[in-house]
Structure 1
Amino acid sequence: MPTCPEACHVVVVGAGEAGARLAHELHAGGWPGPITLLGEEDRPVYERPPLSKNVLVDDEPSPVEPYREGRLEWPGLTVRTGVTVRSIDRTDRTVRLADGEEIAYDRLVIATGARSRRLPGLAVGVHTLRTWDEALQLRSVLHRRGSLLVIGAGLIGLEVAASARSRGMAVTVVEMRPRALERAVPEPVAEVLAERHRAEGVSLHLGTTVESLEQDEGGWLARLSDGTEVTADAVVAAVGSVPETALAKAAGLPVDDGILVDGQMRTSDEHVWAIGDCCAGPVDVLGRRARLESWRMAHDQAVTAAAAIRGEDVRHTAVPWFWSDQYDLSLQVAGAAAAARSWVRRPHPDGSTVHLGLDEAGRVVCAAGAGGPRVAKDVRMSERLITSGTVVDPGLLADADTPLKSLLRS
């Protein structure tokens, strides 16, 4: 790629975890030129994972702002919040703001994230959860002796359900797929969480859709495809997300469920990168491009892109990892369940089980479990097994007395 002069200007569109982390990584790596970070929300950078957990439950919630105490304050960095980028001109290498201002760039990073997917014809007044303001709006309707209908049994839907139950609400969850967490969590692990929700009193309707949804002064009435009628004080739709790719698409960059990037997080334009929930890049464990939403993925992609912008010879190889806290269970998943062709159970004396997915060659490509410290320890070590590509004896994997660390190549 072309060399960059000392005054090379990096503009980052999006001030979420990915965008802010990239700016921080550039600074930490000694970037000599100016950096401009543009955020649409008019508030400091905050983390999104707590929105469906602590923010809904804590007595006095406050945003988790990882860049407090000057971590985004240094000469050469300009942070502008409450601004909207309307277009990108790749010929002149400028971005145009909603008020008409143009900002020139030498390197551009698109970190626009994703937005909540909305069901076609969804009634006005149904909550979604993606931003701090949306979390506060949802929190305002969660109250003891109230009732909540959650549409969608993915991570966000089940986290909201657990938070609402902890607030004393009656909760119904409706999921069109035949099981909960079908997209990324192995079925036995998903069933552990589903059973825990049932034990907590959550009414789960799987393989079911909302046929109609009506609101009046008394609340909501939902008619389900299984014939059930559900009344609720509030409704939240947690049916996935849509990547924010409009800017990239209008600028002529390739898009397919995310802005397409290579192993350095670079788009088809050598001056433009994309990171975080808005992009789809190579995932080694899957052997293809994919858009993977998680806090860790956004962080790791930002580190890779920052190094590439500095001119380093890098490639994104991080193993996907995500977690979810529901009640006293911690779900952790490393790797990709979709890459597994067989599964090995690794039960622990505390009653928890880690499920390890193997590919055709017998290499670990996924590890998942819901439980306590033993699960977390095994999943962390499994990340190293996935990275190493080690072919492992399934019998040793299944033996909880065999440390996973001992199975790594020496």
Structure 2
Amino acid sequence: MQEFVIVGGGQCGARAALALRDHGFAGRITLIGEERHLPYERPPLSKEHLMSSEGIEPPFIVSSAVLAERSIEMMTGDTAVILERESRSVELASGRRVAYDKLLLATGSSPRRLPSLEGMEHVFYLRTHDDAQRLSQRLVPGGHLAIIGAGFIGLELAAAARQRGLEVTVIEAQPRILMRAVPEAIASRVHALHESHGVRILCGTSAGRIAAHAAGITLSLNEGEVLDATTLVVGIGAEPRCELAQQAGLSVENGIAVNAALQTSDPAIYAAGDCCSFPYGDKRIRLEAWRNAQDQGAHASANMLGAEKPYEIIPWFWSDQYDFSLQIAGLANEATSTITRQIDEEAVILFHLADDHRILAASGWGRGNRIARDIKVAEMLIAQRARPAPDALSSAAVSLKSLLSRS
């Protein structure tokens, strides 16, 4: 009987394990997770789960009953520490050794940390359900939450904290918020929304000396201001979990390097999700996104069974803040022009084009699900390498679906 092992008990690993059974794999599946919980969804941790100080169960992806029904062995609270490629086995922190015929590394990512703050009271990072539970208990009305980093996590957290009655200050070293992932035209709208809800955002600002005291944290900012907060959250990005791959001598390049089939430099080992970098067009990218983790987990499972299909799904990101949603399809890094499609007073989509007018990406912002349908169609246009007329893209009177190729 073949034995497949998945290291990583998050979204990616769990979806891969379930997909193996869906694809008809009848061998043994072992899923290894270092957290004490069964696999759960992470996006709610910076949103709904911070809205209550009461204990909330993680949003589980799969139950013990389903794991048993599908004959998936789940090891929780244990960490893979040694990968032996010659013997095809993984040694765990508990001392247990698990053999494999095929291995999937879905080790995810971990928050980028500030070494000077290690062990300091009142300082938090947000990655796990337990992190969210501890932080939620600190979000007491009347408190002051300081956040270092104006990325998705920091801003989602800011929105949740304001809705719970805290004063919130966001400190961002870059000239504007969401510098890495979101175009300025939309980032400015996000910035304005937060300020309208009372969030203070300090861009181009860094914290020098940070000190803890009995009631909280004091931050000395580079502009001379001394900021006093009850709680500090650091949200300055994430780093891929590559320790196991590096120890085993696998190729690592901004994550565990895989080919188009999500296969590492060892043919018996695959990688997927936040931990891996993969080919996209003529470059190599790494995505920290919910849907990428889900899609790559399922895709890797099919290729472990011999499908050998390239992963060609268009990148997609989303973030909910207050009652607005931000969605981005594709990557706009190499765009040379932008066309704006104003849907209504609050909702807008930007189409990012290459030199040949091909759509590379689309960025949308609007209340509720106002932009969801158009972003979904934009994904299809990107996949088709479409080059619609600029007037058609900019006019909300023209249905985006009408621009899709029928061939």
Normalised-by-shorter TM-score class: over 0.9
TM-score normalised by length of structure 2: 0.96
CA distance in 1, matches of 2:152, 2:41: 16
Q: Segments of 4+ in structure 1 off by > 6 A?
A: none
- Deviation string, structure 1 residues 175-223 (Cα, Å, up to 9, x no partner): 0111100111111111111111111111110011111111111321111
Q: Aligned to 1:362, which of 329, 336, 357?
A: 357
* Structure 2: distance between partners of 1:146 and 1:175: 20
Partner residue, 1:41: 35
Residues in 2 aligned to 1:178 and 1:120: alpha-carbon distance in whole angstroms: 24
One-letter amino acid of the counterpart of residue 152, structure 1? G
Matched to 1:34, the amino acid is R
Partner SS for 1:334: strand
- What SS does the corresponding residue of 1:400 show, helix, strand or coil? coil
Q: Which runs of 5+ in 2 are unaligned?
A: none
Partner of residue 110, structure 2: 115
Structure 2 CA distance for aligned equivalents of residues 382 and 329 of structure 1 = 19
**Residue 232 of structure 1 is aligned with which of 229, 232, 236?**
229
Counterpart position of 2:388: 392
Aligned length: 402
**Which residue is equivalent to 1:77?**
72
8 Å Cα contact 1:33-1:76 kept in structure 2: no
Equivalent position to 1:217, from 211, 214, 219? 214
**Which position in structure 2 is the counterpart of 1:30?**
24
Instruction: Indicate the percent of aligned positions where both proteins have the same amino acid.
Output: 41
Tell me whether 151-160 or 182-191 shows the greater mean CA deviation.
182-191
Q: In structure 2, what is the Cα distance between the partners aligned to 1:395 and 1:295?
A: 33
> Once the 2 structures are TM-superposed, how far is the Cα of residue 272 of structure 1 from its aligned partner?
0.1
What does 1:371-410 correspond to in 2, within 5 Å? 371-372=366-367, 373-410=369-406
Unaligned segments of structure 1, at least 5 residues: 1-6
Distance 2:69 2:393 in 1: 48
Contact preservation (8 Å) 2:111, 2:238:
yes
Instruction: Find the aligned partners of 2:396 and 2:279 in 1 and give their Cα distance.
Output: 33
Please list, as runs of the form range in 1=range in 2, the aligned pairs for 1:165-184 lying within 5 A after superposition: 165-184=162-181
**Against the structure 1 CA distance between its residues 211 and 266, is the aligned structure 2 distance closer, same or farther, given a 3 Å change threshold?**
same
**TM-score using structure 1 length:** 0.96
Taking a change above 3 Å as real, the CA distance of residues 255 and 225 of structure 1, as seen in their structure-2 partners, is: same
| 1:2-37: CA deviation from partner (whole Å, max 9, x where unpaired) | xxxxx2110000110000000000001100211100
Tell me the secondary structure at the aligned position of residue 406 of structure 1: helix
Whether 1:163 aligns to 2:160 is yes
Of the candidates 283, 290, 296, which is equivalent to residue 291 of structure 2? 296
Structure 1 CA distance for aligned equivalents of residues 184 and 115 of structure 2: 28
Residue 310 of structure 1 is matched in structure 2 by 305
Shift of 1:73: 2.7
Question: What is the Cα deviation at residue 75 of structure 1?
Answer: 5.1
**Cα RMSD between the aligned structures?**
1.3
| CA distance in 1: counterparts of 2:58 and 2:70, whole angstroms | 26
Contact kept? 1:55, 1:62, Cα under 8 Å = no
**1:139 corresponds to which of 136, 139, 156:** 136
Q: For 2:224 and 2:398, locate their aligned partners in 1 and report how far apart those are by CA, in whole Å.
A: 50
Counterpart in the other structure of 1:94: 89
**Secondary structure of residue in 2 paired with 1:339:** coil
Displacement of 1:313 in angstroms is 3.3
Task: Please point out which of 5, 10, 18 is paired with 1:16.
Answer: 10
Q: Secondary structure at the match of 2:288?
A: coil
1:406 CA displacement: 0.8
SS of the aligned residue for 1:338 comes to coil
1:321-367 CA distance string (max 9 Å, x none): 11111111111111112132211100012431111111121111111
